[in-house]
Structure 1
């Protein structure tokens, strides 16, 4: 299909690289140097120009595009770009916004601003943080098959009870599939004899209950309940949404915000959250307020430097689990190296959501793992699908690609995939696969 992307930043670049091999992609950005670099980096067409300009969009036939994506860091630019594209034709438009102000308006009236699908970065990031908080040791969690299935990625540390065990020894759950491991940057398809090593990131797919059980095995403890201490550092939009989502789940948190006006506003909007006005980089204050006893600490300040400092302080004080927002994707590895349990990059989360939604014509859902080394994709099989009528063992033998069928939803019930399981029309199949093989799988559905 023909795709036009406005914005050559982290989000636009990630999307362009994902689409480049299968689609005709044009990327527009005001930064001439950046678009010139991207032309060779992602092997796509580029144009230096203003994505809100009628003339610029017309020059790349944006009105005839199948998909028009506006994902700069400026909300108004993205919304105006989509509205302008709609005056030229009828592409399907997707816009990124950081503020929930535009998102709330769009949600009340879908199609507002000329935007067919709107992604709110701050809300999306908060949802990811809350899902991760819900599972001990998880670094990524995504729902599939309408919530019937969960995919979770866990980092295994040297003290984990399952470190050193084989997959067969660790797997005692009826409705769980060990899909794969990431080790030293490489993807490994999990087999019964595969030994789980400290430092591995393990991907499992199954019922929420079985995934929860595996989480308990990999890091004994409890999931958050009303007795747990959850501390949020920073009253940014992300910090606010995390607190609000926790309130919606009946969980209380402590939110620390330095700005007095912002703290007062948050206290009014979050009745079940204790809002404290103070500088969270003050070590004496953190110790005095027993932040070291927190079960979960989320650092959601407005700069990576501040988040890095508060995360280091929290780990030094002894917080059990620290989750940090990292605006610059290049810093994610640094945060993890200093001991942050989960580093979440809002731009990467946004790019993955846009890619997932863009795949929905052929795939129901999609999650991108480990910087696009692998993907988890949900396919709804049609009667004409090349996968229908074949057993999982046949597919594993005949198909030339690394993949694992992790779960099957059939008639709103979970079917545990086994070698002899035969796929049927209407099945929702959740598959873990190397990224280069996903397009082949979607073509077969």
Structure 2
């Protein structure tokens, strides 16, 4: 498949990195230095030019393109790129946008702007924050099969009850599969005798109830429903969307915003949220307003450095858990190392969502773990698929190491996968895959 990616920032670059091995990728950017860097670093064709120009799109081979992805930092530019591409060709168009008002307009008008699929960076980031906040101790969370299946990643601390146990000993939960152990730079596919070590990260897949029970055994912290206090710091679009989603979950969060006009606007738009106008880096204010009694603090300011500072201040005064927005992906691991519990990078969340649309049509959903070290895929079994009418043990025998079938759903019900389980047409299969064998597995399935 030929894919044109316009915008070589963090989103576009991440998309290109994930597509370059399996697809013919062309990248367009106006910045000459970026174009030269991509030419040397990636196996793609990089062109200097304006993606809104038909001449540039034609130079990139628009007439042969199957997909055009507009991923610049300007919403209007991305919409224009998709419109121009659709006017000249029938390629599938994807626009990355930040403002939700454009998303709502697109949703209400079929094929508005010439965009086939629209991804809202800030909304996806807020959804990721709320998902992670809802599961104590989780580093990453995603749902599959219309919510029947939950995937989550957890750090194993030295004090964790499963540290030092074998997988067989730790597997005490109904409808739960230990899909993988992430250890240093390795992806370990666990067997019953595999020992879970301190500082490992474990990936589990199963029913929402089993995953929640497992999370509770690792971290005796309140769930989102049990949380007494949730504080969102920063009235950015991500902060607003996060507070709105907390309200939708039945919570009454507090939101701190420094700018009085923005604070007033948010107070009007968030009826169940107490909006406080103040500087969140004022530790005296945080203590005076009892932020130290909060279960969760979300740092959603416009500055990565300020989000780190807020997270560190919150931990210092006794907040149980901090989640911060980190715009630059290279900061994420560093910030988590120095004290932020979970770092959410909106650009990587967006790249993940867009990448899903480049996969085979049977891939219903996709989640990427640890900066693309592994993926979790949801695949629908077609009647003519090699999976149909096949036992799982036979499927696994034909696949390389690095693959685990974590869950199966059939007619709205969850089936815990076993070797003798026979897959049927219409089943949804949730599969963990080590990225190193992803192409081979995708071809086989």
Normalization by structure 2: what TM-score?
0.97
Which residue pairs with 1:60 in the alignment? 60
Cα distance change on mapping 1:226 and 1:376 into 2, 3 Å: closer
Structure 2 distance, partners of 1:135, 1:84, is 43
Deviations 1:191-236 (A, max 9, x none): 1112222221111101111111111111123312265110110000
1:338 aligns with 2:333: no
Map 1:421-432; keep pairs closer than 5 Å. Answer: 421-432=421-432
Deviations 1:251-293 (A, max 9, x none): 1111000000000000000010000000000011111111111
Structure 2 distance, partners of 1:186, 1:391, is 29
- Alpha-carbon deviation of 1:51? 0.5
1:437 aligns with 2:445: no
> Retained in 1: the 8 A contact 2:400–2:441?
no
> Retained in 1: the 8 A contact 2:301–2:307?
yes
Structure 2 distance, partners of 1:198, 1:84, is 53
> Retained in 1: the 8 A contact 2:227–2:295?
no
Structure 1 distance, partners of 2:196, 2:400, is 25
Which residue pairs with 1:279 in the alignment? 279
Q: Runs of 5+ in structure 1 lacking a partner?
A: none
- Alpha-carbon deviation of 1:360? 5.6
Structure 2 distance, partners of 1:84, 1:361, is 25
1:417 aligns with 2:417: yes
Count of aligned residue pairs for this structure pair: 445
Deviations 1:152-194 (A, max 9, x none): 1112222222222221111111201000011112111121112
Superposition RMSD in Å: 1.3
Structure 1 distance, partners of 2:60, 2:14, is 20
Which residue pairs with 1:298 in the alignment? 298
Normalization by structure 1: what TM-score?
0.97
- Alpha-carbon deviation of 1:399? 2.1
Structure 2 distance, partners of 1:224, 1:147, is 17
> Retained in 2: the 8 A contact 1:145–1:409?
yes
Q: Runs of 5+ in structure 2 lacking a partner?
A: none
Structure 2 distance, partners of 1:85, 1:10, is 22
Cα distance change on mapping 1:226 and 1:173 into 2, 3 Å: closer
Which residue pairs with 1:238 in the alignment? 238
> Retained in 1: the 8 A contact 2:222–2:295?
no
> Retained in 2: the 8 A contact 1:63–1:85?
no
Structure 1 distance, partners of 2:326, 2:238, is 12
